[in-house]
Every structure is written in structure tokens, then in C-alpha cells.
Amino acid sequence: MKLSELSPAYEAGAQIITERIRDLSAQVRAADDPDQIQRLKRRIRELRPMQSQSRELAELTAHYYERGYARNAKYII
């Protein structure tokens, strides 16, 4: 399997996380309990790095084999 074939999976994962963040944000707006609001906001904060990383990896794997593609230094081995 080529790395470029993994790109759609990373993009799909990022989309799932984005949808979950939207759902949690809606729950925050509807919540009355301050403790529940804090738990929901903490979960959103935990998901944001995963969302960002999934998008970065989708981009990297999509273009990994392209000559001259400026790769993200974070993922250089």
C-alpha cells in the first residue's frame, strides 16, 4: 500500500472528528450544568489536536510522492 492511498482514510477521520466537535459544541450551547459544560469543553479541546493531525497527515500522504512537495517538518523521519 502506498502512503497516498492512506490520505482518504485520514481525511475521513478528520471529518468524523469535525462532526463530533460540532455535536459537542451544540451540547455546550444547550447545557445548563456548569460541570457538564466544562466536561464538554475539555473533550472538544482534546479532539482539536487529533483533528489537526488527521488533516495534516491527509495532506502529507496525498502529496508524499510528488517531487518538490514541501513536507511538514513535524512528520519527517
pLDDT in tens, the chain (77 residues): 888 899 999 999 999 999 999 999 999 999 999 999 999 999 999 999 999 999 999 988 888 787 776 666 676 65
Instruction: For residue 1, give the C-alpha cell.
Output: 500500500
Q: What pTM was estimated for this model as a whole?
A: 0.84
Q: Domain ranges for the chain, please list them.
A: 3-62
DSSP string, 46-74: HHHHHHHHHHHHHHHHHHTTSTT----GG
